[in-house]
Amino acid sequence: MNDRQRWQAAMMDNYGTPGLTLVRGEGAYVWDVDGNRYLDLVTGLAVNALGHAHPAVVAAVTAQIGTLAHTSNLYINQPSLDLAERLLDLAGVDGDGRVLFCNSGAEANETAFKLSRRTGRTKVVATDGGFHGRTMGALTLTGQPAKRTPFEPLVPGVSHVPFGDVAALEAAIDDETAAFFVEPIQGEQGVVVPPEGYLQAAREITARHGALLVLDEVQTGVGRLGSWFGFQQVGIVPDVVTLAKGLGGGLPLGACLAFGPAKDLFGPGQHGTTFGGNAVCCAAGLAVLDTIAADGLLEHTAAVGKEIAAGVEALGHPLISGVRGAGLLLGITLREAVSAKAAAAAQRAGYLVNPVQPDVLRLAPPLILDEADAHRLVADLPSLLTEES
Ligand code: PMP
């Protein structure tokens, strides 16, 4: 049996059978089982800033796992303390925050969802098209009917409003609303950017009604937009931020950060998970944040992202209608539903790109993507869009 057949026999078909077996990664590149090399513009969503096998992450994880991997939640481990303090520092909240670590983005949002119940309110608002994970609570927040419907009934009390619509938000949020969950940019929906002023309006409306503003930065956080957090690009401070994906440098690490009064909402015994904040994943997280800072990767991300966007626009390709997003979270929008075909052609040409919507190609490379690779991708794009398979 080949890997595909083995996969089909042994794995639940939750994402559909993948077509490629990857065996090695280094920097922005991965290799498949047949020795083919690909520029990885996909798994940056998971490994984020530093790409594959970054020496800083390898060293931090190796040192920590050989020293103390896990303390259980009954004891303090120092990497988790260091990482919590660092995240609060980067968020710029002057120590007025607390962190709860977990293992994934869905779990970080479950944490925020439960935290919001501690306000004594049960109404929650989220956005159409938003994606917050696949566990039952996170799925309830997710505004994509095809993902939700097979699993109903979901958690009561949650409604959805059109993303980017301030009037709809104003109408939906009242003094009984516990929280509004929103992504700064909707990643899974196809890198959808809200109109200017939307997040600021969300901040004002939620504050006026005493509701928590929860920003899901699982995709946009940890440098991906060219700033530590997405909220820093729009000059607001939410009550709660959720992180995962890039935070652990490829290891499973999620975090729920709460600022101001929200930071004190959980009491002892009210939430937790065995592996949340384990020393090895937190050591990886610290290495990620250290390296982003030391290597100037925020500035690099902003600059390379702009170059790709400008380069793609300058192609003037008849199939490309535009580029949206920020930093290295980019959606190339197409005039026809050909993204799957283009992604397949890209793979044959040595690029892994994500056909996130039928008419949107998503690029989410590691933040270390260098300019030469970025230019090569842009130059090859026209042939990938028109190649016949
Ligand atoms: N929130 C957002 C914005 C996401 O993009 C994702 C994953 N695509 C999640 C939450 C869920 O994260 P995880 O897969 O780690 O549960």
- Residue of 101, 181, 229, 245 with catalytic role: 245
Top-confidence residue, 373 or 49: 373
- Tell me whether residue 170 is exposed, middle or buried, using C-beta atoms within 10 angstroms of its C-beta: 0 to 12, 13 to 18, 19 or more: middle
The two three-digit tokens of residue 61, written as one number:
């994880």
Residue 171: CB atoms within 10 A of its CB come to 11
- What is the predicted pLDDT for the residue at 46? 67
Q: How far apart are CA 237 and CA 214, in angstroms?
A: 10
The two three-digit tokens of residue 120, written as one number:
């004594």
pLDDT in tens, 327-356: 999 999 999 999 999 999 999 999 999 999
Give the torsion sign (CA, 99, 105, 106, 107): negative
Residue linked to tokens 């610290």: 286
pLDDT in tens, 247-294: 999 999 999 999 999 999 999 999 999 999 999 999 999 999 999 999
Closest atom, ligand 1, to C-alpha of 217: 3
Does the annotation place 273 within a ligand binding site? yes
* Residue extents of the structural domains in the chain: 3-54+298-317+337-358+367-386, 58-294
Does the annotation place 217 within a ligand binding site? yes
Question: Does residue 275 have an active-site annotation?
Answer: no
Give me the interface pTM, i.e. the ipTM: 0.99
Decide if 242 contacts 252 (C-beta within 8 A).
no
Give the torsion sign (CA, 233, 312, 40, 62): negative
Distance 43 CA to ligand 1 centre (A): 13
- What is the predicted pLDDT for the residue at 43? 80
Q: Is the pLDDT of residue 17 over 90?
A: no
Closest atom, ligand 1, to C-alpha of 245: 15
* CATH of range 3-54+298-317+337-358+367-386; options 2.20.25.570, 2.60.40.10, 3.90.1150.10, 3.40.50.1100: 3.90.1150.10
Topology, domain 58-294: Aspartate Aminotransferase; domain 2 (3.40.640)
Q: Is the pLDDT of residue 237 over 90?
A: yes
